[in-house]
Structure 1
Amino acid sequence: MKIVIIPSGFKECLNAEEVASSMDTGIRRFDRNVETVVIPMIDGGEGFAETIINIKKGKLIYKKVTGPVGEQIMSHFGVYKEKGIKTAVIEMAAVAGLKLVPRSMRNPLETTTFGVGELITAALDENVDHIIIGCGDSGTSDGGAGMAQALGVQFLNQHHQLLDIRGGGDLSQVEHIDLSHLDQRVAKVNIDVACNWHNILCGEKGVARVFAPQKGATPEEVEILSDGLEHYASLIQEAMGVDVRVIPGSGASGGLGAGLLAFTNAVLHPRYDIIMQYIQLEDHIQGADLVLTAEGCLDGQTPNGKIPSEVSRIAKLAGVPVIAITGTIGEGASINYTSGIDAYISIIQKPTSLESAMEEAAIWIADSAEAAIRQIQIGYNIAQRKYKRDVI
């Protein structure tokens, strides 16, 4: 039996490599002779830069920058050179990710992407020709305004006084955008952004309403953020002539996609269009008997560009069944049955706190993977007995 293991990470708990290792452990507890192919999957979020740099044999550069709640943190970006082109790989999660926001401080009204702009500046200082930015797992909803400030964009109030945008809650105060101090190097470097193509900036399905509650926003704060991003988008349209409200990917990472589109020489891409240039899933899935994938929470949003959905899409083209292992099963999860996932299993084994579940996650993932393979073996044995009876 050949099993291909292609998980996402469990956000704030285990990265994709750790999840994959646990799944492989569970399978091998049942049968050490099973052929497994382990492919920890990235989606632009946590692990994006390190994974690509490892594949390209580049180097990680560590730098102290501004974290999402305004404190100085040590972050990183990667650099590799290929065919004479020097490329930087930036992962927004490594500088403004939700994991970096203490639970007691989770309020996207007050979290910033300023550090993303600082990493872009640091990459430009390395004289790169190309920048790839992974958008995912963000703890922000400032429309990329913090990033823009770090690059020199100035936001002014109605009295033309300089504002310091500290989070999405400040966007409603902006009345003018001054581009005269913008770092001109961003216009001379090709910037490709790997983002969730389904995320848009504004409207009923805008990023504030869909994702801000996951980042700690109350219903009232969601409306403040939504109104602020709408106002921000109108100012961008006035200053630059581009309407970023519903451009695919504009809502990625709390609207960072829109900020990159407006203030840099960036092109937004469906994240897997970029990621699949580095990870050839089709080659590994072809000829497999089973694909195991994983995600921290499987719910009605999973088909909208999440890793299990992309994995199952490719597996279905190859006629390979898919089982998803998940931390929690959320609202609307059954829709995944129609998008290519044949079965899903929660790792939760008993009533428990979130903290305890995170501590036990690696063990429970292994247990769930083993249970899945044992159930498949039962089905195989039943089919074999039925075949023998029918033949006789």
Structure 2
Amino acid sequence: MNILLCPDSFKDALSAEQAAQAMAQGVLSAAPHAQTHCCPLADGGEGSLDALIAATGAKRCQVTVQDALGRPRQAAWGWLAEQRTAFIELAEASGLQHLNAQERDALHTSTFGVGELFLAALDQGAEKALLLLGGSATNDGGAGMLQALGARLLDGEGQPLPPGGAALATLETLELSGLDPRLATLSVEAAVDVDNPLLGERGASAVFGPQKGASPEQVAALDEALDRWAQVSAQILGEDYRDLPGAGAAGGMGFAARAFLGATLKPGIDMIMQQANMPALLASADLVMTGEGRLDGQSLSGKTPIGIARAAKRLGKPVIVLAGSLGEGWQACLDEGVTAAFALADGPMTLEEALPRTAELLSARSESITRVWINPMTP
């Protein structure tokens, strides 16, 4: 029996790698002779870099960049030398996880450090980059990244704009002549886990701004600032990408990736499954077990368990999802290839009580499922 274990991370509890190991422990407790294959995955957000490195054997590199507030930090990126491909995770430089609650400031946080990661990759000789979006602390539409790459954003007096999305409201001039010329031959794919446009009630500011510290008034101001960013960009580029699905990902970084880097926007889980050679892994599996912190109706927008289930459904493979919780609308996932889904809790408990027990609970559920799988009831 071959069981494929391909969870995403369980937020604030386990990395995807740790989750896969906990599942494997449970499976082998029930079936010591089972063949298990651990393939930790992600959907483009935090943890995607680790998943790609684990799947491909890429080298983990380190470089000092600016965090979202302009402070120096050591950020990792991946280098797959044989493919001349760099793996760049936005959250490594500009991630929300690097800021405490009091530091969250959607008006002024910047993606400058992401541009510095691109420069490190170009210096290494990258010909292709996989840009992993998600988990951002920013709402600057990727403007900071472009500044790091050599673009000049100027106000009405010809002065460079300060960091952050709010400053884009005063943008008058966008100069792209200083962009690093190596970008012209760099092929970029951007992994997104949402399909939101740049602006409006489903846009970057309205949907994701509040979790980055923006008040309702600040959300409105940021949306207006990004509108100005889109206007000026369209004037320079001759094409307007504000309504592109995924443009609102990572505080508008999806917009910048497509507009200025020529990136192809793809569902993050599809990109990472491709790198992990998931079709071959699924073909040899008898049972697939995946999971993440929460499964609900929103999971259909591109979360890891649904990406796995859709791919497995095409091959007729059963998929079990283990989730920290099952939220409203999770039953819709059953139409996407999920065979069954289970919450981890073994009794009434608060989130604070559940988090430190996640590995234990995940292992126990995996063991129970495996026992049912190998000992089916007969008529």
Shift of 1:327: 1.9
Paired residue secondary structure (1:277): helix
| Counterpart among 197, 202, 205 of residue 200 in structure 1 | 197
Q: Is the 8 A contact 1:9 1:15 kept in 2?
A: yes
Equivalence map 1:135-214=2 (5 Å): 135-166=133-164, 168-196=165-193, 198-214=195-211
Distance 2:210 2:324 in 1: 19
Q: Deviations over 1:124-146 (max 9, x none)?
A: 22232222222233232221111
| Counterpart among 257, 266, 291 of residue 294 in structure 1 | 291
Distance 1:27 1:214 in 2: 37
| 100-109 vs 111-120, which moves further | 100-109
The residue type paired with residue 302 of structure 2 is G
The residue type paired with residue 40 of structure 1 is P
Does residue 348 (structure 1) correspond to residue 341 (structure 2)? The answer is: no
Q: Give 2:6's aligned residue.
A: 6
Shift of 1:234: 1.6
Q: Is the 8 A contact 1:157 1:163 kept in 2?
A: yes
TM-score scaled by structure 2?
0.89
| Counterpart among 222, 238, 242 of residue 241 in structure 1 | 238
Distance 1:55 1:304, change over 3 A: closer
Shift of 1:366: 1.6
The residue type paired with residue 190 of structure 2 is V
Distance 1:239 1:348 in 2: 54
Shift of 1:309: 0.8
The residue type paired with residue 98 of structure 1 is L
Q: Give 1:87's aligned residue.
A: 85
Distance 1:345 1:216, change over 3 A: farther
Q: Is the 8 A contact 2:45 2:193 kept in 1?
A: no
Distance 1:213 1:322, change over 3 A: farther
Distance 1:144 1:350 in 2: 44
Distance 1:244 1:162 in 2: 24
Paired residue secondary structure (2:122): helix
The residue type paired with residue 156 of structure 1 is L
Distance 1:126 1:253, change over 3 A: same
Shift of 1:54: 5.0
Distance 2:270 2:214 in 1: 31
Paired residue secondary structure (2:242): coil
Q: Deviations over 1:337-373 (max 9, x none)?
A: 2322232222234555545433222222222323433
| 154-163 vs 18-27, which moves further | 154-163
Distance 1:228 1:341, change over 3 A: farther
Distance 2:54 2:290 in 1: 22
Q: Is the 8 A contact 1:321 1:341 kept in 2?
A: yes
Paired residue secondary structure (1:254): helix
Shift of 1:25: 1.4
Distance 1:149 1:354, change over 3 A: farther
Q: Deviations over 1:58-100 (max 9, x none)?
A: 4222111111233211112222322xx5222211121122322
Distance 1:331 1:235 in 2: 40
Q: Give 1:122's aligned residue.
A: 120
Q: Is the 8 A contact 2:258 2:264 kept in 1?
A: yes
Q: Deviations over 1:204-238 (max 9, x none)?
A: 32233333344444444433333332232122112
Q: Give 2:76's aligned residue.
A: 76
Distance 1:100 1:204 in 2: 27
Does residue 339 (structure 1) correspond to residue 374 (structure 2)? The answer is: no
Does residue 369 (structure 1) correspond to residue 369 (structure 2)? The answer is: no
Shift of 1:329: 2.8
The residue type paired with residue 45 of structure 2 is G
Q: Give 2:324's aligned residue.
A: 327
Does residue 99 (structure 1) correspond to residue 88 (structure 2)? The answer is: no
Distance 1:148 1:343, change over 3 A: same
Distance 1:364 1:2 in 2: 22
Identity %: 37
**Count of residue pairs brought into register by the alignment:** 379
Moved over 6 A (4+): none
Shift of 1:34: 3.1
Equivalence map 1:22-41=2 (5 Å): 22-41=22-41
Distance 1:217 1:371 in 2: 44
Paired residue secondary structure (2:265): strand
The residue type paired with residue 200 of structure 1 is P
Q: Deviations over 1:171-201 (max 9, x none)?
A: 3232332223322222232222233362332
Q: Is the 8 A contact 2:206 2:219 kept in 1?
A: yes
| 6-15 vs 60-69, which moves further | 6-15
Distance 2:237 2:79 in 1: 31
Q: Is the 8 A contact 1:141 1:253 kept in 2?
A: yes
Distance 1:348 1:230, change over 3 A: farther
Shift of 1:55: 4.8
Q: Is the 8 A contact 2:39 2:55 kept in 1?
A: no
Q: Give 1:313's aligned residue.
A: 310
Q: Is the 8 A contact 1:154 1:177 kept in 2?
A: yes
Shift of 1:10: 1.9
Distance 1:176 1:192 in 2: 27
Does residue 232 (structure 1) correspond to residue 195 (structure 2)? The answer is: no
The residue type paired with residue 373 of structure 1 is T
Distance 1:352 1:104 in 2: 28
